[in-house]
Structure 1
Amino acid sequence: MNTRDQTFPSFLYKLQDIQHVRAGRSSSRQEMSYHTLLLFNKGEGDIAIDGMTYPLYCQKGFMFAPGAVMKLHMMSGAPADYYVIRFLALQPSGTPDCYISAQAIGPQEWIIPHFRFVMDMVEEIERKHHGNSVWDQMRANIVFQEMLMSLFQHKSRGPKPDVEQAVTLTLHHMEQHYASDISRDKLAEMAGMSADYYSRMFKKWIGKSPIEYLTDIRINHAKQALVLTRDSFRSIAHSVGFSDEFYFSRKFKAATGRSPSAFVNTIRYTDKIASLKHLLTGHLVALGIEPYAAVINKAYPVTEGFRNTISVGAVQPDLEKLMSARPDLILTCEFRDFEKSKKEKLYEQIAPTVTVPFFQNWRTHFQSIARIVGKDAEAAEWLERYEMKADRIARKVRQKLGGESVLIVGVGHQKMCVYGQRNVGTVLYGDLKLTMPAGVEEIAHYREITVNELHEFDADRILLTCYRHYGNACEEQAIQQECLALWRSPEWQQLKAVRSGAVHDMCDSRHLYTCYTSLSHDLLLDKSFELLLSDSSK
């Protein structure tokens, strides 16, 4: 790798625009105001960049810097199909945390061996960038950076493909685009290998053929859809990449030993459910189900009352304990919504595993869990009761508090936070519609702060609770000491809510009320009624 190539990973890149050109004039000239990447899917001719001419043909890419003058000459009659991607590139200035516009990183000329893989990424970038959602646009920029990394790494290695990395590229492609039309030949093209050689190398590294691996991915996603939705087998088959429901059913039975309908019935009516996250455990308990196995610790007091539940870990699941428990279904929750972690893949070897996306709201979580265990009607009734209860308490609390703002402060061992609109906030600010102090609207989950920063929120009332309490006795004592020190602090004593005696303490409840689950939120409604409508301020 040359010295200039080594600087690329330290740059910051921001996608500005992407344009798909399917036809063009035989000759065009323009000056680029951004760093620009051209990727040619089809086209013959030549391209001149600042007077230097390069031959032009498919599966070729060019990159040039702002201010470059580009002249494109296409052969008459030859079809043109290429992408123009404009972006910002910033490089470290030498001053910490300060960046300046990057020096020229082009022109760069690429012959891209993983061209189909790169074009799939480009197509996703185009879809997301021109979508209506800000999250789509954020995703477009992430995929764009992944694509740049792939191009830069290949350029630094030279033309000879790295077998392991080439196989890994196709693995990622299958995991993210499993529902697409994927063939062995297409995967081999992405890897820059012949089909036979690619298959041999894939099996050497992974232990099965590419298509067998793809089928496994599709079957695992089908399992999720079967238990999380009421979609028809035909719809599910198409959604995961199978041509029809009959072929899907044959493949499903070959992989699991059961037909899709038998699989659903086994899951839906089993009482051997392992819950690996407290928030999912709370949903099960709200539905009247004590898990067969679960992660159990004192941080979430609900689990202490379990009498028949097998403990499979205190903080994280212990794979040996989980395997010994032999559950029929595993429920977990992860931050990623698109690709399974290595540990999740191990769970699948123990029992069918349903992964609930972390960033869904708690009502969606609750309804998903209810659907899995066949309690849709019970969940609907529970939510109806909850909404009526929340509305009743909200009217009484707001009648007493008026427009007073309430700040939720979490106390942990040598740490403190302000909770935002998730967890406790989803009940107080969402369901009870209490007034947020200025600044809380910018906090999605929580923000770590110091005592000195609390005055910035200027809250009328403060609700004290725990932050990162993992349930052990040492932590319990440490948090108690933190609370005592807080009350002795001059900065704390100067706060408006403290001076007026409007501080409500529930630190001794550990994470009974801060867990993002239906059961905790229901209990928090009762606790809010008790604290805010009585003289229980400290």
Structure 2
Amino acid sequence: MNEQLPFISETSTLPLLSSMCRVRRGENFRVHGKTVSRPMLCLILQGEGVLILNDQIHKARAHQLFVLEKGTTIEAASRSGVTECILLSMNTVQLKQVRGEWKMISDPCLPFQWSTGPMPVRHEQQMVSRMEQLYTAYQGVQQEHFINIHTQLHELLQYISENRLEANQEKVDPALERSIMYMHRFMGEGISMDQLAKIAGLTPSSYSRSFKKAKDMSPTDYLNRLRIEEAKQQLQLDPCSIKDVAESVGYGNEYYFNRKFRQAVGISPSIYMKREQLRVATASVLGLEHNLSSLGLEAIATLNGFTDQELSENEHQHKLTLQLNKLRQSKPDLIIADTHHESYYDKLKSIAPTVFLEPVQDWKQIHSRIAELVGREKQALDHFKQLEFRTLDVGKRLQQFFDHERVTLVEVKPPMIRLQGTINHPLSHLLYTELGLQPAQIAPPEHQWVDYPAERIPVLDTDHLFIHRLSMHPASEKLLRRLKQTSSWNRSPAVLGGNVHDISSWLMMSWTPSGRHQIMDELIHIAEQHAALSHAGLIGQF
């Protein structure tokens, strides 16, 4: 069953075409804080870049459609030399039949209750063709063509509705959408699976299977997520009663609500209510204290249980004991830890409530999670926006310096030499996807990294070699000297061309906003220094 534009009911919403324009901009196209005055559709015809809608960051590409509700704030930056899009704005009116007569009032909503963001559509090319046909008709519109223009608009909206996709590229099922709308509206009441299945016109078992396939979770989990998200909003209000919040979102039992909230968020509702005033410590090998620092909050203590290969077992245990004592003495309200410290869970929990972050490769997800735990979500969103725009700018600058030359990252990590791969790490994504640098063929394309003994490392067939020494201990210096004595090193184009660059701990730094800014600073410095030497004729020209 497809959504239909309800033109003949007693209360109907009717979208009318207000205007259409085709926008074409050149290199360095930017939009700063524009606000949409009418509901709009934006179709990207060519180009790619970043589109930020109400602080939500989206990657924009050709043939992608975006929905913009009235009041949406837009920021954008182009990565391409040419950007072109069609903007379609609508005036939506509501028709009401009162005593046999139709009355018309303005309605600021989009049809079908669409919301701001990308709108994945099957058969993109057909959708693009329909939008361009409507634009052509609009350009030559005459008074007698009024009805035809709006008919084409309704057909376009209907086509988009019937072919829109879920995030997982499954076709949207309007019946499931109706049941989700019911969850949103009545989450504070008792909702049964039978009710939801009946609304969707399915048996409970079929409904559960269809829902999980479309949303990648069960209806019960989805409803719990809605309730917890609403509870989080209410817990930030003052005054606030946990018992009242539990009841308002559909959890009649306060203790059950506490358990579900802790499972979903990691901390209790009472701690969540005062999260902006918490004294926070970290237990991490990923430098989570730097995430906190980026958010304007300094960790009162840190624990790093990393096993340094150059320390004896007794030295490692002594170092760990000192850190644990300092952590205990600092009396934190909350400890944020990574999964490398799960073996210390009992010790950490005896000091303060402890949240272990899920092991994911998306640094933004980790940073957002930390920001939520300490009430700094706005700061995290600001970081993401600043980084998106700066990464675009720096990527363009680096392409001028490096052009199509190949780069490779090597870490001196006794007893092995590590070649950084091109996947499954925030640094790899930053270098090769976001900044557009070209990896050398020796960079493992299917692995996060590969370790080699110094004498067995393949020829470093790369134009630029970025080297990080894990430590300045004698073992690291000895391993680096062994590497430099190999033919693989001495035959490297990067070594022969004088393009070997010592770098900071980029692998660690790539997990934080401040660290990513520093990586880009170092890359710009390396590129500019190389360009200056090339200009002076001291090394080979690019």
- TM-score interval for Structure 1 and Structure 2 normalised by the shorter chain: 0.3 to 0.5
- Alignment TM-score, normalising by the size of structure 2: 0.45
- Alignment TM-score, normalising by the size of structure 1: 0.46
